[in-house]
Amino acid sequence: MENREIARLLAETADLMEIAGEDAFRVRSYRNGAAAVENHPENICELARQDPRRLTAIPGIGKSLAAAIEEICRRGSFDRRDALLARYPPTALELLKIQGLGPRTIALLWEHYRVSTVDDLERLCREQKLRTLPRLGPKLEEKILRSIAHYRQSAGRFLLNFADQTCRQIVEYLSDLEGIEQITPAGSLRRGKETVGDLDLLVTGPRAAAALERFVQHPEIVELLSHGSNKASAKIGPQAIQVDVRALPSDSYGAALQYFTGSKDHNIALRNRALKLGYSLSEYGLFTLRGERKVAGAGEEEIYRRLGLDWIPPELRENQGEIEAAAEGRLPRLVEFAQIRGDLHAHTSESDGRATLEEMVEAARAMGYSYLAITDHSKALAMANGLDEARVVAFARKVRELNARGELGIRLLAGIECDIRRDGSMDLAADALAELDLVIGSVHSYMNLEPAEMTERLLRALESPYLHILGHPTGRLLLAREGYAYDFERVAEEAARRNVALEINASPERLDLYDVRIRAAKAKGCRFVIATDAHHPRHLENMRYGVMMARRGWLEPDDVLNTLSWEELLRAVARR
């Protein structure tokens, strides 16, 4: 079994334990174990097979969890999970995906009404029976109905990093064949959408058809949907994501890549432009209307050029003005991953991170970064072991000593992710914040405030003279929680006026800000930081997803603070 599947089973068991009202410490140990398994670089089942004692050497894995993991590797489940599933139906886990429901409320619903599915929950809310239970009321019913609608809208979608990793594995699997020239992802993955519905892979080369034969023999296929001479489709892996693989002749590769990349709206606008210019455009190529002579198709660039356009990067293809900009030669020079000089949002084991400062530094140095900001949580997040004023001051002193010694091979910024309280004040005293190089202000609580109150809360936070970055500015969790509501344009305008950068949080669960709001904020004069919010060294690699969001928001290198050199960054921070 893959590590992520073992981690999923452990995390689900923690959810079931929480619904059952079990000890919080035990629940947390399962969650920690799930994170440790998912982030471990070696295959956990292979370790268990070689020597089970090696499992307990992994931080976060004790003897009982190691025994559970061994059992999972043997039979795909373990006794603790089976006992909980006998008590609660598996569908109860789906309820945890509905914003506004916690484990205690789910247990209450089960006890009184035997609610175990989203349909049951929706019916209960519409019949106004939820309000009859202790601590529940009409407002919660309304919120849950909205959350159910959001959940159903996002059902069948997958996080960008999951889609990307699955795609990479399939490309590697198919690349063993001889006679394959190119295997290219298309669709919403190539455009860098936050979530992906399915995967499209285009294959060219003398033996492109053989790739389809190999694909349908993939060991993780759970359902074969179709298999023809030019296309094969299947659902792959435990998540059953649909993958379509197409074999193409080389002279149509560019046209097919353009067509299957989309978006639908971009393609419609492009085809209409082609018609006005006397062409027809399809996945097979660009043809003249008179005589149906093929004039382009092997490469995307020639198709756009024939239509009088600069080549449009995939991230911009949403019919949001990119065609007009390409016709007038004013497409932005989009920021690239190679231009990122450092990460400005990272956590360590001093709060809720999974690695020491030294381990995070080593990972940042391996990525070729010039600098890294360590930004552990502030004291409001007690469950995350947040730093109080004394620990903040001691940490800042430690960072300055490390920089002075120059032994790390990378520069450090002493930072904090400081909670923004309900009233908009910062979670730490001003004199402690003044000791730091970088302060990120983030909302982690009271997310259900009315829009006007949330707006005032954020505006007050921006008044802090020590705030440099507004962290994950909508608070959304993809496929799980909508962002909080507020007057975004008013807050962005004030952030620009006060020289506070907006974060593009590259964590695949957030990808916050997203494209529309990035463009709106840029129009107000905002600058941005692309940062991973890393809690483990491997999370630093998520930077590429944040760069995708920045590109979708039409950002150029000058819009992003962490494209600056160390000296330039210090001057920019000092101006705040």
Beta-sheet pairing, 469-470 with 501-505: parallel
* Tokens standing for residue 82: 């089976």
Q: How far is CA 33 from the centre of its chain?
A: 21
Compute the half-sphere exposure of residue 378: CA atoms within 13 Å on the CB side of its CA. 26
- CATH tag, 337-575: 3.20.20.140
Calculate the CA 327 to chain-centre distance. 33
Higher-scoring residue by pLDDT: 126, 480: 126
Is residue 212 over pLDDT 90?
A: yes
Look up tokens 């060991």; give the residue.
219
**pLDDT tens column, 351-401:** 989 899 999 999 999 999 999 999 999 998 877 789 999 999 999 999 999
Task: Give pTM, 2 decimals.
Answer: 0.85
Classify burial at 114, counting beta carbons within 10 Å of its beta carbon; exposed 0-12, middle 13-18, buried 19 or more.
exposed
Q: d(Cα 305, Cα 85) in Å, to the nearest integer? A: 59
Phi and psi angles of residue 124, each rounded to the nearest 5 degrees, phi first:
-60, -40
Distance CA 309, CA 311 (A): 6
- What is the structure's pLDDT at 542? 97
| Cα 281 to Cα 279: distance, rounded to the nearest angstrom | 7
Tell me which CATH code domain 158-248 carries. Answer: 3.30.460.10
- Decide if pLDDT at 93 tops 80: no
Q: Environment class of residue 14 by beta-carbon count within 10 Å: exposed (0-12), middle (13-18) or buried (19+)? A: buried
Domain positions in the chain are 3-154, 158-248, 253-327, 337-575
Alpha-carbon distance 17 to 112, whole Å? 19
pLDDT of residue 222: 92
Cα–Cα dist 55/6, whole Å? 13
Dump pLDDT digits (tens) for 327-361.
Answer: 999 999 999 999 999 999 999 999 989 899 999 99
Question: What pLDDT does 162 receive?
Answer: 94
- For residue 90, the model assigns a pLDDT of 73
Judged against a pLDDT cut of 80, whether residue 25 lies above it is answered with yes
Beta carbons of 61 and 69 less than 8 angstroms apart: yes
Give the per-residue pLDDT at 262: 93
152-177: pLDDT as tens digits: 776 788 999 999 999 999 999 999 89
Say yes or no to pLDDT of 146 above 90. Answer: no
| Strands 285-288 vs 469-470: parallel, antiparallel or unpaired | unpaired
Mean pLDDT of the chain: 93
What are the CA-CA distances from residue 378 to residues 45, 242, 422 (Å)? 37, 42, 15
Q: What is the per-residue pLDDT for 89? A: 76
Confidence at residue 94, expressed as pLDDT on a 0 to 100 scale: 80
- Is residue 527 within 8 Å of residue 501, measured between CB atoms? yes
Separation of alpha carbons 218 and 526, rounded Å: 47
Parallel, antiparallel or unpaired: strands 501-505 and 528-531: parallel
Specify the DSSP class assigned to residue 561: G
Nearest to 355 by CA among 341, 378, 336, 376: 376
Q: 3-154 belongs to which CATH class?
A: mainly alpha
Spatial CA neighbour of 473 closest among 521, 422, 542, 534: 521
What's residue 431's pLDDT?
95
Q: What is the pLDDT of residue 52?
A: 83
Cα(171)–Cα(19) distance, rounded to whole angstroms? 40
Query: Parallel, antiparallel, or unpaired for β 285-288 and 279-282?
Result: antiparallel
Q: Is the dihedral of CA 188, 190, 195, 201 positive or negative?
A: positive
What is the architecture of the domain spanning 253-327? Answer: 2-Layer Sandwich (3.30)
Give the end-to-end CA distance of the chain in Å, rounded to a whole number: 50
Average pLDDT estimate for 527-552:
97
Express each pLDDT in 292-320 by its tens digit: 999 999 999 999 999 999 999 999 999 99
Decide if pLDDT at 196 tops 90. Answer: yes
Torsion of CA 245, 246, 247, 250, to 10 degrees: -120
pLDDT surpasses 80 at 99: no
Q: pLDDT at position 191, please?
A: 98
Q: Output the pLDDT for position 576.
A: 66
Burial 385-407 (b: 16+ CB within 10 A, else e): ebbebebbbebbeebeebbeeee
Write out pLDDT tens, residues 457-468.
999 999 999 999
Q: Does position 226 have pLDDT exceeding 90, yes or no?
A: yes
CA distance 349 to 388: 15
Q: Residue 277, exposed/middle/buried by CB under 10 A (0-12, 13-18, 19+)?
A: middle
Q: Could you tell me which of 544, 552, 498 has the C-alpha nearest to residue 520?
A: 552
The pLDDT, as a whole number, for residue 127 is: 87
Q: Which residue has the higher pLDDT, 40 or 449?
A: 449
Tell me what pLDDT residue 21 has.
Answer: 84
CA nearest neighbour of 340 among 367, 358, 315: 367
In order of 251, 296, 356, 518, the CA distances from 560 in angstroms are 39, 37, 27, 11
Q: What is the DSSP letter of 482?
A: P
